[in-house]
Amino acid sequence: MTLQLKSPAKINLGLFILGKRQDGYHELETLLQMVSLYDTLELTALPAGIELICDHPGVPSDQTNLVVRAARLLLEKGAAGRALGCRIHLHKNIPAGAGLGGGSGNAGIVLRGLNQLWQLHLSISQLAEIAAQIGSDVPFFLGSPAALGRGRGERLTPLQPAKKFYVILLYPRLAVATSEVYRGLNLDLTKKQKNINILHQFFSESDIASLGAHLHNDLEPVVFKRYPIVQKAKEALSALDPDGVLVSGSGSTVFAIFGDSASARQAFARLQGGDWDLFLTETVTSLSEFLPASLCHDLKP
Ligand code: C5P
């Protein structure tokens, strides 16, 4: 049996660092939104062993790939000693080291897919526990297309989707290491008076102009300092008068949001030919946009 799955990218419409924790991670508040740039995954059941075939030269095919870690952990924690295996074909469209959660999304979708393929019948909260061991962003990809994340990003509150809006992703062809960006944070400089609530309010009202005006990422100044090319990318996007522009996660992608698709298409056309990769996307508002119906059913939080 084979399962065909799509694995979407995410953006962070807000990312507020609250402080450093004993375990070395940072306590944060973030508003996560899936967008319609997808990797594709094909999962085939095997009698034993986990094989990954990935067409992308920059993405490892060994056990360092989050997809393989996800399959192994699921086997270890959820399969009660049964002999199970799978072959995973991964086709990458989402750039790596981009702040778009590509690898995390792949891992989350593999957990969901193998739970079905192997008929493990684990609950969402059991899968979420495994997901959080793989990475802070992985649990988000098990659930709703938009969510508030707290803790290190893994404690999620699903959000009612806002009406669809349009997102240009600009990847400056530069891979960023998340841990380095966090290491460069000066917590005295993070704007403690700001918080996620105002963004959440505009998001739930689908007020994209106000949402755009309040986008905020505490990691952005660190990324700009280390990688001036990312700041240049933000300037190029800002010049096209979108509703808002921000670095996603720890970078290097800068995204611009638009309430209407015509303005997004026009801006996209004007950005062509630069030294970057561009993706014109829209927000994902329903799981059925990327998951087969059989997997949507048990996805309710
Ligand atoms: O959880 P994940 O493995 O994706 O995190 C990658 C790195 O990002 C961590 O090793 C840590 O340095 C940093 N990080 C952090 N606080 C978070 C999330 C990530 O410091 N909330």
Residues 6 and 155 occupy one common structural domain: yes
Residues 125 and 66 occupy one common structural domain: yes
Residue 291 lies inside a defined structural domain of this protein: no
SS3 64: coil
For tokens 């509703």, name the residue. Answer: 243
Q: Which residues constitute the domain of residue 116?
A: 2-159
SS3 66: helix
Question: Given pLDDT bands bounded at 50, 70 and 90, which one contains residue 193?
Answer: low
Please check the confidence at residue 16 and state whether its pLDDT lies above 80.
yes
Residue 293 lies inside a defined structural domain of this protein: no
Q: Looking at 105, 139, 159, which one is the last position of a domain?
A: 159
Residues 224 and 91 occupy one common structural domain: no
Q: Which residue's CA is the closest to the ligand 1 atom numbered 7?
A: 179
Of the ranges 51-55, 158-162, 291-295, which one carries the lowest mean pLDDT score?
291-295
pTM of the model: 0.96
Query: Do the beta carbons of residue 117 and residue 74 sit within 8 Å?
Result: no
Residues 120 and 150 occupy one common structural domain: yes
Q: Looking at 134, 159, 184, which one is the last position of a domain?
A: 159
Residue 259 lies inside a defined structural domain of this protein: yes
Number of domains in the chain: 2
Residue 79 lies inside a defined structural domain of this protein: yes
Amino acid at 85: G
SS3 38: strand
Which CATH number does the domain housing residue 36 bear? 3.30.230.10
Candidates 22, 148, 176, 182: which one to mutate for ligand 1, based on the most atoms within 8 Å of Cβ?
182
**What is the atom index within ligand 1 of the atom nearest the CA of 137?**
4
Residues 172 and 144 occupy one common structural domain: no
pLDDT single digits (tens) 202-234 = 999 999 999 999 999 999 999 999 999 999 999
Residue 248 lies inside a defined structural domain of this protein: yes
What is the pLDDT at residue 79?
84
Residues 144 and 219 occupy one common structural domain: no
Q: Which residue's CA is the closest to the ligand 1 atom numbered 4?
A: 135
Residues 19 and 133 occupy one common structural domain: yes
Mean pLDDT across the chain, nearest whole number? 94
Task: Give Cα separations from 198 to 204, 215, 225 (angstroms).
Answer: 10, 10, 27
Average confidence (pLDDT) over 226-248:
97
Residues 235 and 101 occupy one common structural domain: no
What is the pLDDT at residue 217?
97
Q: Which residue's CA is the closest to the ligand 1 atom numbered 11?
A: 179
Residues 173 and 32 occupy one common structural domain: no
What is the C-alpha to C-alpha distance for residues 277 and 172, in angstroms, rounded to an integer? 6
Q: Looking at 159, 194, 218, which one is the last position of a domain?
A: 159
> Catalytic residue at 234?
no
Among 165, 136, 172, 107, CA closest to 23: 136
Average confidence (pLDDT) over 267-278:
95
Residues 154 and 229 occupy one common structural domain: no
| 136 Cα: distance to centroid of ligand 1 (angstroms) | 7
> Catalytic residue at 137?
yes
Tell me which of 209 and 194 has the higher pLDDT. Answer: 209
Average confidence (pLDDT) over 7-36:
97
The CA radius of gyration of the chain, in Å to the nearest whole number, is 19
Candidates 148, 178, 222: which one to mutate for ligand 1, based on the most atoms within 8 Å of Cβ?
178
Residue 99 lies inside a defined structural domain of this protein: yes
Q: Is 178 in the pocket of ligand 1 (CB under 6 A)?
A: yes
Residue 294 lies inside a defined structural domain of this protein: no
Residue 65 lies inside a defined structural domain of this protein: yes
Q: Is 26 in the pocket of ligand 1 (CB under 6 A)?
A: yes
What is the pLDDT at residue 298?
55
What is the C-alpha to C-alpha distance for residues 273 and 271, in angstroms, rounded to an integer? 7
Which CATH number does the domain housing residue 200 bear? 3.30.70.890
**What is the atom index within ligand 1 of the atom nearest the CA of 151?**
21
Residues 111 and 215 occupy one common structural domain: no
Burial of 182 (0-12, 13-18, 19+ CB in 10 A): middle
Residues 155 and 170 occupy one common structural domain: no
Task: Give Cα separations from 141 to 55, 138, 212, 262 (angstroms).
Answer: 22, 6, 23, 29
Q: Is 224 in the pocket of ligand 1 (CB under 6 A)?
A: no
**% of the chain surpassing 70 pLDDT:** 96
How many CB atoms are closer than 10 A to CB 89? 16
